[in-house]
């Protein structure tokens, strides 16, 4: 039912947020200032070791800077305990000693009707379970065992069996005093003016009960056992309890598991969800026989900021991914997006886990592709762009995609990311390429470097000069992006760290990117952790150079500076303009991430091909190699991460 805003406000006023949340978390004494209504704790929604969950008693709102969860006392209960909003209001009103108004007659009648329908669905589910474990279900149990769904799995997911009889369920429910009207309203029987005798909707099918977020059985999915069945899967129809577009299979359990996992996984079918859950991926859901809807996507975002959509790699799966991409763009917000993990053609999650084990699935999920990369690949993977008209068409499509993003800030970043890719791609793909750097005089190409060298010679108190357009890192650095591991510091990784050390403003503006930066070199990763600890300190002791020197990293810092200086990546060094350094750092980061993801995918593809030298496995391996060569093409086409302008430098 709906509650007056005045009642909700009164509950909020009587129950401080810290009191409600404090029953689930331990407040951090060092950061919490209770007198100011400022509370910090480790987030109850995702696993973490340092407090990033903030509760503000003055505003009555909480927010986690790690996973993005936010809300008030009501949303906190719905998220942590899985209760509905009315249930949360009732519980908190009881705690606050506030009587709630009696529900109106219409709302009360609707709730009673739904409760009755839920009882009918529970009775039906128990019947299907009993049928599976009867002598009539022996062959079905054998079939499920063959699909790696043994007795434990059957019990946990309440799997059942609907026999071939046209009225077994109807008769069973009638014997319990349930009317045919209730059975029809629950979607269990098929009836109508043109049907003389009603009959059971589900026949000769394995039954998968579908629960809502309160744990009530609200619908069923039935998989046909006969190969001649008209529909392989049959779901309950829309009912007062069951709205397919607003529910997710395994949603309640996955929501709880997502807090520890930090994400939520979406697969295409019930069996895939079960296989994933039994393999340890409890945070997995599936839509209910339809394409993912906007309401379901919003549900996913309530569980995790970046759900991973795991679709089959065939054409149908790719089309499904494209539909979700177009639907998601207008809904994007800061720290709210989606990623994609496309399986090899003809392989579903159940197949992959059964043949290669959970670790293969984990690797696939870890290398999931961000939405912006999927969009770019869709627009450029197939097609030729060898004429001005075709390149103009690509440019328009990319611009239209960026315009479709709803949130202003996210739209701006999409426009910048796509424009960046477009510029590099068109230079690489244009016939008879003639890079801008080749058309400029040596003096023009070195302008930005000379500005930096001049600033270096004058010392830190001399005003800095910045080229009107940013000057690039060297192409040698770009080629080093893909070199991973080893004891010698990787040039790309070294440059990412050296830039941060000498330009601390980049760290504060892109802290999340730096926190999630994955480095293969152990020395450099240890250096990154020291920097993170310094930033997290309440009283940072001086500059990063001072912090790292005091921590005993002077020899490593000297080696890194020498390596970066010899490569020509002058923007990373002290004295370069912060704006030049930031733009170069962000582009270096983009290529670093893309390269890592592609190499992970290539390793998986090579392993799959070694185990099964099929044409689809070979094709996937070739496609990933092609994408890696595209990264090479981008590197070769731009001679770094920006271009120095021929215009005069401007003093700032």
The pLDDT value recorded for residue 591 is: 73
Lookup result for tokens 């390269």: 595
The pLDDT value recorded for residue 202 is: 96
In this structure, are residues 490 and 527 in contact, taking their beta carbons and an 8 Å threshold? no
The pLDDT value recorded for residue 260 is: 79
| Lookup: tokens for 337 | 């997006």
The model's pTM is 0.56
> Tens digits of per-residue pLDDT, 9-39?
889 888 889 999 998 888 998 899 887 788 9
| Lookup: tokens for 494 | 């070294």
The pLDDT value recorded for residue 520 is: 80
Q: How far is Cα 345 from Cα 366, in angstroms, rounded to an integer?
A: 19
Q: How far is Cα 366 from Cα 267, in angstroms, rounded to an integer?
A: 15
Lookup result for tokens 């000498």: 502
**Spans of the chain, pLDDT less than 50:** 431-453, 455-456, 458-487, 538-540, 633-652
Angle at 77 between CA 71 and CA 83, to 5 degrees: 125
The pLDDT value recorded for residue 345 is: 77
The pLDDT value recorded for residue 27 is: 93
In this structure, are residues 288 and 370 in contact, taking their beta carbons and an 8 Å threshold? no
The pLDDT value recorded for residue 460 is: 43
In this structure, are residues 254 and 303 in contact, taking their beta carbons and an 8 Å threshold? yes
Domains and CATH numbers, the chain: 5-96 (3.90.580.10), 105-242 (3.90.980.10), 246-376 (3.40.1360.10), 383-433 (no CATH), 442-651 (no CATH)
> Tens digits of per-residue pLDDT, 46-78?
878 889 999 988 788 999 988 888 899 999 988
- Helix (H), strand (E) counts: the chain: 30, 17
| Lookup: tokens for 203 | 């026949």
> In sequence order, what are the beta bridge partners of 62?
55, 71
What is the length of the chain?
652
Residue 90 makes CB contacts below 8 A (sequence gap 6+) with 100
> Tens digits of per-residue pLDDT, 580-601?
788 778 777 877 777 777 778 8
CA distances from 436 to 336, 342, 433, 440, 514 (A): 37, 37, 9, 7, 31
């Amino acid at each position: 039912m709906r509650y007056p805003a005045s009642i909700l406000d009164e509950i909020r006023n009587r129950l401080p947020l810290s009191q409600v949340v404090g029953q689930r978390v331990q407040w951090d004494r060092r950061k919490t200032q209770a007198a100011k209504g400022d509370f910090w704790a480790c987030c109850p929604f995702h696993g973490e070791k340092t407090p990033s969950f903030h509760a503000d008693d003055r505003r009555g709102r909480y927010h986690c800077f790690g996973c993005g969860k936010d809300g008030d006392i009501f949303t906190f209960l719905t998220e942590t305990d899985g209760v509905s909003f009315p249930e949360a209001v009732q519980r908190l009103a009881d705690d606050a000693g506030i009587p709630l108004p009696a529900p109106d007659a219409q709302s009360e009648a609707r709730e009673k009707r739904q409760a009755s329908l839920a009882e009918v669905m529970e009775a039906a589910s128990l019947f299907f379970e009993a049928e599976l474990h009867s002598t009539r279900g022996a062959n079905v149990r054998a079939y499920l065992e063959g699909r790696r769904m043994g007795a434990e799995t059957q019990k946990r997911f309440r799997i059942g069996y609907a026999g071939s009889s046209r009225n077994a369920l109807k008769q069973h429910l009638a014997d319990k005093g349930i009317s045919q009207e209730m059975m029809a309203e629950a979607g269990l029987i098929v009836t109508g003016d043109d049907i003389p005798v009603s009959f059971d909707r589900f026949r000769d099918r394995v039954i998968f009960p579908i629960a809502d977020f309160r744990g009530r059985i609200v619908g069923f999915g039935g998989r046909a056992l006969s190969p001649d069945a008209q529909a392989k899967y049959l779901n309950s129809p829309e009912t007062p309890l069951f709205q397919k577009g607003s529910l997710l299979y395994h949603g309640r359990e996955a929501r709880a598991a997502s807090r520890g996992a930090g994400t939520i996984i979406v697969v295409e079918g019930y069996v895939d969800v079960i296989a994933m859950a039994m393999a340890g991926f409890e945070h997995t859901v599936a839509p209910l026989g339809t394409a993912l809807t906007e309401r379901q996507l919003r549900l996913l975002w309530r569980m995790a900021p970046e759900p991973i959509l795991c679709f089959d790699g065939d054409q149908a799966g790719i089309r499904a991914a494209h539909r979700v991409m177009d639907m998601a763009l207008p809904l994007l917000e800061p720290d709210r997006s989606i990623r994609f993990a496309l399986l090899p053609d003809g392989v579903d999650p159940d197949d992959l886990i059964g043949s290669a084990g959970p670790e293969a699935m984990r690797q696939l999920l870890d290398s999931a592709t961000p939405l912006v990369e999927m969009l770019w690949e869709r627009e450029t993977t197939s097609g030729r762009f060898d004429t001005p008209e075709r390149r103009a068409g690509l440019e328009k499509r990319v611009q239209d995609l960026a315009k479709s993003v709803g949130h202003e800030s996210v739209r701006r970043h999409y426009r910048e990311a796509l424009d960046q890719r477009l510029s590099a791609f068109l230079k690489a793909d244009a016939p008879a390429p003639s890079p801008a750097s080749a058309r400029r005089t040596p003096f023009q190409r070195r302008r930005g470097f000379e500005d930096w060298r001049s600033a270096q010679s004058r010392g830190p108190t001399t005003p800095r000069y910045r080229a009107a357009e940013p000057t690039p890192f060297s192409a040698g650095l770009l080629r080093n992006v893909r070199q991973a591991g080893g004891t010698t510091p990787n040039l790309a990784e070294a440059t990412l760290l050296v830039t941060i050390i000498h330009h601390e403003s980049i760290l504060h503006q892109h802290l999340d990117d730096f926190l999630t930066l994955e480095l293969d070199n152990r020395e450099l990763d240890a250096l990154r952790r020291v920097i993170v600890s310094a930033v997290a300190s309440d009283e940072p002791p001086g500059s990063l150079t001072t912090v790292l020197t005091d921590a005993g990293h002077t020899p490593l810092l000297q080696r890194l500076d020498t390596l970066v200086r010899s490569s020509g990546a002058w923007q990373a060094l002290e004295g370069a303009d912060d704006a030049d350094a930031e733009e170069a750092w962000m582009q270096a980061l983009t290529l670093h991430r893309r390269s890592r993801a592609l190499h992970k995918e290539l390793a998986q593809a090579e392993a799959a091909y070694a185990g099964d030298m099929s044409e689809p496995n070979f094709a996937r391996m070739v496609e990933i190699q092609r994408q890696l060569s595209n990264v090479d093409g981008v590197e070769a086409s731009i001679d770094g991460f920006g271009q120095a302008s021929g215009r005069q430098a401007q003093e700032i």
